[in-house]
Amino acid sequence: MAGSSVGWDDAVTGWPGFSPLAGDRTADACVIGLGASGLAAVEDLVGRGLSVIGLDAGRVAAGAAGRNGGFLLGGPALFLHDAIAAWGPSAVDLYRETLAELRHLKETLSPGVVRPVGSIRLAGLPGPPTDEGDAADRAAEVADCAAHAAALREHGIAVEDYDGPLGRGIFLPDDAATNPAVRATAIAARLEHRAALHENTSVRRIAAGRVVTSHGTVSAGVVVVAVDGRLDALIPSLARRVRTARLQMLTTAPVSASRLPCPVYGRHGYDYAQQGADGRLHVGGGRDRFEQAEWTASTAPTEPVQRHIEDVAARMAGGPVTVTHRWGASVGFTADGRPLCTEVAAGVVAIGGYNGTGNLVGPVAARAAVARAVDGTAPPPYFAA
């Protein structure tokens, strides 16, 4: 297999980085985790005029925030019709909040960081079915795409039927694409003069008003823990509510230009791909095919999953591919698909469990966490409190 490295990181090789925490510090608020959700929490806190210290165990977005598919999709992990059935009307509220978060990103980041190209949900994967079982699954997913589209239309959310060279499904024009590592480092760069941000600073213990790290202790009345994968290890009291899983991806050498006009996902979202302007495909998936092995805190790519993703990549590309990068990332899953936004100690609010779709849900959770910690406002019902 190709060496283990992250395809997105090629675009952030000049990142200057932030120094580790240097000794004990005091601030109004401390944010643990500088991915998409943690940076949104920092942004919200400094916008309220509070002093903020942000901490990350590695580089900004070196976890799942910079190692995902780069899909900026409206809504939660559950498709809207399934989320409404599971949670009730609040699922629509979450969908609208994620679209508002996407508009905020478009307005605040430099042109090109967010590409407003929409997304395609396919029934199955491109190309003919591989066998009778695949054909039956694809037919069932065509029906599910129709139910998905009906729920979107019922609530005034844009959707179009898709029947094109990639297959059949639906097109969601409100969605967008990004390089997730570029997106996160760009946000961090905007915040570096408004907050004290520190990389390579591991958190060892969290308590009310106190965060003990590998480089000193932060005293803060408000603490937001914005860690998705391995949240159950950092806060053991959440171990029964959120579970860490590995998601795997790869990047290919450039393929036919404009093969994928936007982010594309199929097989109920388990397989997904995005094509960059340079022609490379960034492809992930297969967790459902190897589910038991993927309930792990390890991020090392594995041969069985990577073989599956290579097949997905070839089908997305319409022909053979050459793999240049392979990687994995840790993410959090909850039993009912609702992300967590919960107080774990006085003034300490933890968020996570985005079920593999945290690019927009995470920042929405972050803003709810700040409201809970600062204002005492209960999280909306689409979060598990």
Q: Which residue has the tokens 């095919």?
A: 289
**Tens digit of each residue's pLDDT (9 = 90 or more) over 168-192:** 999 999 999 999 999 999 999 999 9
Q: Give the per-residue pLDDT at 36.
A: 96
- Residue 359 in any domain: the answer is yes
Pair 152, 158: CB distance under 8 Å:
yes
Pair 341, 351: CB distance under 8 Å:
yes
Q: Give the per-residue pLDDT at 35.
A: 96
The continuous run of DSSP H or E covering 100 comes out as: helix 90-108
> What integer is the mean pLDDT of 309-317?
97
Separation between Cα atoms, residue 127 and residue 234, nearest integer Å: 43
- Residue 287 in any domain: the answer is no
Mean pLDDT, the chain, as a whole number? Answer: 96
| In the predicted structure, residue 14 carries a pLDDT above the cut 80 | yes
- Residue 263 in any domain: the answer is no
21: CATH = 3.50.50.60
- Residue 188 in any domain: the answer is yes
Residue 53, domain extent: 11-68+180-240+336-375
Ramachandran bin of 79, using left for φ above 0, alpha for ψ from -120 to 50, beta for the remaining angles: beta
The whole-model pTM stands at 0.96
pLDDT band at residue 4 using 50, 70 and 90 as cut-offs: low
> What integer is the mean pLDDT of 105-121?
97
Q: Give the per-residue pLDDT at 258.
A: 84
Structure tokens at 58: 């590695």
The continuous run of DSSP H or E covering 245 comes out as: strand 243-252
**Tens digit of each residue's pLDDT (9 = 90 or more) over 255-299:** 988 899 999 999 999 999 999 999 999 999 999 999 999 999 999
> What integer is the mean pLDDT of 190-216?
97
Q: Give the per-residue pLDDT at 257.
A: 80
pLDDT band at residue 2 using 50, 70 and 90 as cut-offs: low
Q: Give the per-residue pLDDT at 13.
A: 81
Type of residue numbered 30: C
Pair 337, 77: CB distance under 8 Å:
yes
**Tens digit of each residue's pLDDT (9 = 90 or more) over 122-162:** 999 999 998 998 999 999 999 999 999 999 999 999 999 99
| In the predicted structure, residue 3 carries a pLDDT above the cut 70 | no
- Residue 169 in any domain: the answer is no
> What integer is the mean pLDDT of 88-102?
98
Tally of structural domains, the chain: 1
Q: Give the per-residue pLDDT at 1.
A: 53
Separation between Cα atoms, residue 293 and residue 329, nearest integer Å: 14
- Residue 348 in any domain: the answer is yes
- Residue 290 in any domain: the answer is no
CA-closest candidate to residue 102, choices 201, 30, 36: 36
- Residue 56 in any domain: the answer is yes
Separation between Cα atoms, residue 179 and residue 195, nearest integer Å: 24
| In the predicted structure, residue 120 carries a pLDDT above the cut 80 | yes
**Tens digit of each residue's pLDDT (9 = 90 or more) over 342-376:** 999 999 999 999 999 999 999 999 999 999 999 99
**Tens digit of each residue's pLDDT (9 = 90 or more) over 215-238:** 999 999 999 999 999 999 999 999
